[in-house]
Amino acid sequence: MPTSQDAASQDAAALVALITQRSFQRGGEMKLASGRTSSFYFNMKPTMLHPEGARLIASLILDQLEADGIAADLIGGLEMGAVPIAAATAAMSAQRSRPVAAFFVRKQAKEHGTQSLIEGLPKGETLAGRGVVIVEDVTTTGGSAIKAAAAVEAEGAKVLRVVTVVDRCEGAGEAFAAAGLDFKPLLTVADFA
């Protein structure tokens, strides 16, 4: 009988194949969000917005959190990359023993309406005292996730973990450690060698 670890390994392999097919590009110099340039690039939107891609990412995140005993109240991160990940993970969590709600952090507060930086919470609800997981699609230096973590911590939340779909292994791990954030990627650039 297959174990949950076997299923997670199969899901990880399937996600690598899907990312390779839909989101991984080589050749030429491309500018990254970090400002660096690279000869390879992960455009994760075609994978994150694909039905099987969304399912695989959400399942692997939930499996990781369950295996490590992380009981988060909310999952989210900086717009835009974190939004489909958080939404898919929240939806899939409804089928698990511990549902987790989604939120996202705006890059800047809106100038109208509630003028909120954090979106997704119902009226009267705050992040104060809540355990959150920050998610990101691709991590290079960790800047986006650190910005999201700072925003939720300023609202009184505790960041339990940062999870990225793909870590490019270019300094994010060290940056998260320096910021006191627990970091664990689903995949690393080595999975695409």
Tell me the per-residue pLDDT of 103-129, one tens digit each, with 9 for 90 and over: 999 987 666 555 578 999 998 899 999
Q: In this structure, are strands 158-167 and 187-188 parallel, antiparallel, or unpaired?
A: parallel
pTM of the predicted protein model: 0.91
Taken in order of first residue, the domains within the chain and their CATH numbers are: 57-192 (3.40.50.2020)
Predicted pLDDT at 193? 77
Q: How confident is the model at residue 173 (pLDDT cuts 50, 70, 90)?
A: very high
Predicted pLDDT at 27? 74
pLDDT tens for residues 145-157? 999 999 999 999 9
Looking at every residue in the chain, the average pLDDT score rounds to: 90
Q: How confident is the model at residue 4 (pLDDT cuts 50, 70, 90)?
A: low
Question: What is the SS3 string spanning 147-165?
Answer: HHHHHHHHCCCEEEEEEEE
Give dist(CA 20, CA 54) in Å, integer. Answer: 15
pLDDT of 65 > 60? The answer is: yes
